[in-house]
Amino acid sequence: MKDVLEFLENIGANSTLNRVNDVAYKSFVKSMSFNADIENAIVSRDFKTLESVVGSTGEFVCAICVPGEEPSDLKVAA
C-alpha cells in the first residue's frame, strides 16, 4: 500500500502530473507496475474500490492544512 500512497501523493504534489490528459494519465499509471485491480481503480479514479483492493480500513483523505489553523477548523468536502 505504501507505493500506492506515494504514487497518489506524487500526483497531487506535481502540477504537471495532475494536469495531464487521460491517455497520458493512464500511461503513467501503467508505468508504475501496480497489479491490475489497483491499476484499474486508479485509472478509473474509483477510490472506494482502491481502498478495498489495498486493504484500507479507513478512508483516504487529501487535505491542505494552513499553518496556525486548528484541525477542528478543517472542513470535510463530500
First and final CA of the chain: distance in angstroms?
Answer: 24
pLDDT value for 13: 83
Q: Mean pLDDT for each 10-residue chunk of the chain (78 residues)?
A: 84 80 90 93 90 79 71 58
pLDDT value for 2: 80
pLDDT value for 12: 80
Q: Which three cell numbers stand for residue 45?
A: 479514479
pLDDT value for 41: 93
Question: How many Å apart are CA 63 and CA 78, to the nearest integer?
Answer: 13
pLDDT value for 42: 92
